[in-house]
Amino acid sequence: MSIQDELTTTIQDLVQPGKGILAADESHPTIAKRFKAVDVESTEENRREYRSLILSAPGLGDFISGVILFEETLGQNSLDEVPIPKLLESQGIVPGIKVDKGKKPLINAPGDEITFGLDGLDDRLEIYKNAGARFAKWRDVFHISDTLPSRQAIEANAEMLARYAAVCQSMGIVPIVEPEVLIDGNHSMERCAQVSEAVLREVFLALYRHGIELETMILKPSMVTPGKECPKASPEEVAEATIKVFRRSVPAAVPGINFLSGGQTPEEATLNLNAINSEGVQPWELSFSYGRALQEPAQKAWAGHLENGPAAQEAMLKRARLNSAARWGTYTP
Ligand code: 13P
């Protein structure tokens, strides 16, 4: 298959009506934090058991079109000794891989951060592709305060995302472009909208500069909400503010916008997505690429015990099914 055919086929498989993406690509420190919350030690075997359980939930592919994996999981076998990428393909789900190497402070920009991982990215993608990955994810983060993020952080991170996306597309891998505007803080929803618009405009400028084919990428953004320390906005308010920003800054050629959950509760994330999909017809598919909001109940149900596997799978399927309903705007609590 040509590179272009690979990109086109993968984007069609990922952006399907009623389906979304499961982010199961927590780095070692992050999964350790999630496991600690349910009193489980993060060992390689525990990670394999948990991820194998949720990814083999029967019928997961009815609601989930793609799963983002962490490098370790891409090379692991399921509990039935099937390579995880093969297990996903057998569920009708596209395997993907997180490829950024995390973030560090941005020099000369106090409070801002920059994401690393471009060096050797083509060599790593070659290995991941041979292991079965067909799409990738790179996450940038932007902190909000009265003065953050700086212009420098917005431009530097946008440039990184665009260069990552260019390498991916040159190798037939669909890039998920994730600029996350963090929910931490006491900022207003208006301030979040202002920062989100500035970030998105810069990201798409950089994507254009680097010749990215918008038709074969996915945008993974945060929703426009007030800061975590403020009273919550209603789903309708979140939907209205989010759609307004996106209509201003995301070209219609982008096929899918798959939101991250970014610290929203599972219920909130579903309600907000449902409201977003109730705002009328938009140029893009509006879907999910949730980590915590899809997995939290499954992690609680599992709690490190294999015999809780069926309960964990049921919890996983439930969140996937409800978010699938939210894709149609037909979710009722
Ligand atoms: P959350 O939905 O938990 O924010 O995770 C999504 C993700 O992949 C962040 O990179």
CB of 266 shorter than 6 A to ligand 1: no
Q: Which atom of ligand 1 is nearest to the CA of 178?
A: 10
How many residues does the structure list for the chain?
Answer: 333
8 Å CB contact between 167 and 121: yes
**Stretch 74-103: mean pLDDT, rounded?**
98
Atom number in ligand 1 closest to CA 293: 2
Q: Is the CB of 183 under 6 A from ligand 1?
A: no
Confidence of residue 134 (pLDDT cuts 50, 70, 90): very high
3-state helix, strand, coil in the chain (%, to 5): 50, 15, 35
Determine the pLDDT at residue 233.
98
DSSP assignment of 239-288 equals HHHHHHHHHHHS-TT--EEEE--TT--HHHHHHHHHHHTTS---SSEEEE
DSSP 169-218: HHTT-EEEEEEEE---SS--HHHHHHHHHHHHHHHHHHHHHTT--GGG-E
Nearest to 154 by CA among 185, 180, 175: 180
pLDDT at residue 114, as a whole number? 98
- Ligand 1 centroid vs 17 CA: distance in angstroms? 21
pLDDT band at residue 183 using 50, 70 and 90 as cut-offs:
very high
- Residue bearing tokens 């260069």: 163
Burial tier of 38 (Cβ tally within 10 Å: 0-12, 13-18, 19+): middle
> Taking a C-beta distance cutoff of 8 angstroms, is the pair 210, 167 a contact?
no
pLDDT of residue 151: 98
List the residue whose alpha carbon is closest to atom 4 of ligand 1. 262
Q: Which atom of ligand 1 is the closest one to the Cα of 260?
A: 2
The verdict on the CB of residue 179 being under 6 Å from ligand 1 is no
Kindly state if the Cβ of 261 falls inside 6 Å of ligand 1.
yes
Supply the pLDDT for residue 173.
99
CB of 291 closer than 6 A to ligand 1?
A: yes
ipTM of the complex: 0.87
pLDDT tier at 150, thresholds 50, 70, 90: very high
Count each helix (H run) and each strand (E run) in the chain, helices first: 12, 10
**pLDDT score of 166:** 99
- Please tell me the distance from the alpha carbon of residue 154 to that of residue 144, in angstroms, as a whole number: 12
With 0-12 CB in 10 A as exposed, 13-18 as middle and 19+ as buried, what is 262? buried
**Mean pLDDT, residues 262-289 taken together:** 97
The pLDDT value given to residue 86: 98
Separation between Cα atoms, residue 103 and residue 92, nearest integer Å: 32
Mean per-residue pLDDT over the chain, rounded: 98
Which ligand 1 atom sits closest to the C-alpha of 295?
Answer: 3
Ligand 1: residue whose CA is nearest its atom 5: 291
Q: Which residues are marked as active site?
A: 178, 220
What percent of the chain has a predicted confidence (pLDDT) above 90? Answer: 100
Determine the residue type at 186. N
Model confidence at 104, pLDDT cuts 50, 70, 90, reads very high
Q: What is the largest CA-CA distance in the chain?
A: 52
Q: In the structure, what pLDDT confidence band is assigned to residue 299 with cuts at 50, 70 and 90?
A: very high
Segment 11-42, tens digit of pLDDT = 999 999 999 999 999 999 999 999 999 999 99
Q: In ligand 1, which atom is closest to the CA atom of 262?
A: 4
Identify the CA nearest to 84 among candidates 98, 99, 68, 100: 68
**Residue closest by Cα to atom 1 of ligand 1:** 291
The whole-number pLDDT of residue 195 equals 98
* Residue 110 alpha carbon to ligand 1 centre in Å: 24
At residue 273, the pLDDT reads 98
Going from the Cα of 2 to the center of ligand 1, the distance in angstroms, rounded, reads 31
**Interval 282-295 mean pLDDT:** 98
The residue assigned the tokens 């472009």 is 177
In angstroms, what is the span from residue 290 Cα to ligand 1's centroid? Answer: 5
Q: From the CB of 293, is ligand 1 less than 6 Å away? A: yes
E strand or H helix at 65, and its extent?
strand 64-69
Residue 260 Cβ inside 6 Å of ligand 1? The answer reads yes
DSSP 3-state of 51: helix
What tens digit of pLDDT does each residue of 309-331 get? 999 999 999 999 999 999 999 99
